Amino acid sequence: MTGVDYLERIPNNVNLRDNRRLLRALEDWQPKFLQWWLDLGPEGFQATRAYLRTAVSVDKDGWAQFDYVKMPDYRWGIFLAEPEPDRRLIGFGDHRGQPAWPEVPGEHRGVLRRLIVTQGDTEPASVEQQRHLGRTCPSVYDLRNLFQVNVEEGRHLWAMVYLLHAYFGRDGREEAEALLQRHSGDTDKPRILGAFNEPTPDWLSFFMFSFFTDRDGKYQLASLQESGFDPLARTCRFMLTEEAHHMFVGETGVGRIVQRTSELMRQGKTDEVRKEGGIDLPTIQRHINLHYSVSLDLFGSEISTNAANYYTTGLKGRFEETKKDDDHRLKEATYPVTLLEGDRIVTREMPALNALNERLRDDYIADCQRGVDRWNQIIKKQGIDFELKLPHRGFHRAIGSFAEARVSPDGRVIGEAEWNANREEWLPGERDRAYLTSLMLPVSKLGRFANWIAAPARGINGKPVDFEYVRLD
């Protein structure tokens, strides 16, 4: 297997040293990236050492090495999963059965570049969104996890910038510059996708973002790892191994809040956990409603000719494409799609090719539901009668069929008056925001946790929960 070359300024397993032109281009981009990290990365912690994992090889057993590093010294690099032993064949679309492309096919150049830029833009965006959170960490353990997610999103940016530099010439280099010039929430140059311009003001939002929005990333990467463009497929395959940790942070983070809330409810025999300094379940539900609906939008319109073209031309497959038992061309197939027709919500069989966004959204929804089920188990174990729910897919949508309508969390098309009367009940408002802000006080004593969140079941990399995950001297 190809080891990672750590002697070079840019760690990599793509033999950068043999491609001087590319190496120079990336070495030119590197200081700009670092400047961006210093300007818009974790605020107040640039000189702090954290116990972080770094990729050292891309095989299953030994890819991570844990050590204390200052984040600006993190070894961001370029790692592609190993090529498959027999040259990989394209698994879907019109080119099914042909060898995967080692270079960009000319006719797909523009579309592929757009897909890579859109994915790449989300990576630095989330670092920007989360940059103030370190100051209010609920524990040193959580602070370390935040930083791990941040440096890996930085590495995901490197992954996409490598593809742009290596395969898209001058256009690619310009796009790589622009990835550092757009900023989350910037009025003049915002990030490309809506969810990545929303603020992440508190840790409940951070955990929700990691659970719901990083999971969108998982599904996008999973369908791009099927791509006929082999370097993209292999890049995404390795990114997915990192992404799993981000969703772990989100699911266990929300789970630990739910745990603590349930304990406070049981001990105090009350629903009013705010009096006890906890985060009440309705507030958690409102945050689910917000982050889930914003993340559903990221999958795009229910019916999309772009999605059909990506598939037919072999650029973007389905989730678990190779496990599906059909012709992998889908010319004749149909797929049930839920749509708004007038003021009614209906399910129609649509051409499967045009419904690929919806199909990916369905895979995502099922995955989200499994996490919510596990949170509900935590509540049930404390003997509390309350169920967290994913709202209807039409609730609070800004893209696709439901963007035109007001839909309640339980899936009724409603009027503006009912929406306005319930908005505070359904979505986080100023009162939630003010309360959560009042809770966000940093906890820096090892092994201690803020009152509103339970300790994790175990530490990171076999270390105890009270391990010095971040050196805050």
Site for Fe ion, rule CB under 5 A? 123, 153, 156, 214, 243, 246
Cα distance between residue 41 and residue 124, in whole Å:
9
- Shortest distance, position 345 Cβ to Fe ion, whole Å: 32
* Longest distance between any two alpha carbons in the chain, whole Å: 68
Residue (252 or 338) nearer to Fe ion, CB = 252
- Shortest distance, position 153 Cβ to Fe ion, whole Å: 5
Q: Look up residue 149 and give its two tokens.
A: 């997610």
DSSP conformation class of 391: P
Residue (182 or 246) nearer to Fe ion, CB = 246
- Shortest distance, position 155 Cβ to Fe ion, whole Å: 8
- Cα radius of gyration rounded to whole Å, the chain: 23
Closest-CA residue to 409 (of 424, 393, 398, 428): 393
Q: How far is CA 169 from the centre of its chain?
A: 28
Residue 407, strand partner residues? 413
- Shortest distance, position 235 Cβ to Fe ion, whole Å: 11
Q: How far is CA 49 from the centre of its chain?
A: 25
Contacts of 133 (CB under 8 A, 6+ apart): 42, 146, 200, 202, 203, 206
Residue (145 or 283) nearer to Fe ion, CB = 145
- Shortest distance, position 215 Cβ to Fe ion, whole Å: 9
- Shortest distance, position 157 Cβ to Fe ion, whole Å: 8
- Shortest distance, position 23 Cβ to Fe ion, whole Å: 24
In one-letter notation, the amino acid at residue 126 is S
Cα distance between residue 449 and residue 455, in whole Å:
6
Residue (123 or 432) nearer to Fe ion, CB = 123
Residue (156 or 287) nearer to Fe ion, CB = 156
Cα distance between residue 304 and residue 73, in whole Å:
43
Cα distance between residue 81 and residue 413, in whole Å:
46
Residue (123 or 226) nearer to Fe ion, CB = 123
DSSP-assigned letters across all residues of 327-364: -SS-SS-EEEEEEEETTEEEEEEEETTTTHHHHHHHHH
Residue 414, strand partner residues? 406
- Shortest distance, position 307 Cβ to Fe ion, whole Å: 21
- Shortest distance, position 217 Cβ to Fe ion, whole Å: 5
For residue 26, the SS3 value is: helix
Residue (214 or 358) nearer to Fe ion, CB = 214
Q: Look up residue 440 and give its two tokens.
A: 């966000």
Residue (146 or 388) nearer to Fe ion, CB = 146
Residue (210 or 357) nearer to Fe ion, CB = 210
Residue (297 or 302) nearer to Fe ion, CB = 297
Cα distance between residue 219 and residue 239, in whole Å:
12
Residues in the chain: 473
- Shortest distance, position 112 Cβ to Fe ion, whole Å: 19
DSSP conformation class of 318: -
Cα distance between residue 181 and residue 415, in whole Å:
40
Residue (91 or 250) nearer to Fe ion, CB = 250
Cα distance between residue 27 and residue 20, in whole Å:
10
- Shortest distance, position 245 Cβ to Fe ion, whole Å: 8
295, 416 contact by CB (below 8 A): no
- Shortest distance, position 15 Cβ to Fe ion, whole Å: 24
Residue (130 or 285) nearer to Fe ion, CB = 130
Residue 64, strand partner residues? 55
Residue with tokens 């791990």: 148
- Alpha helices (H) in 382-427, listed in sequence order: 416-426
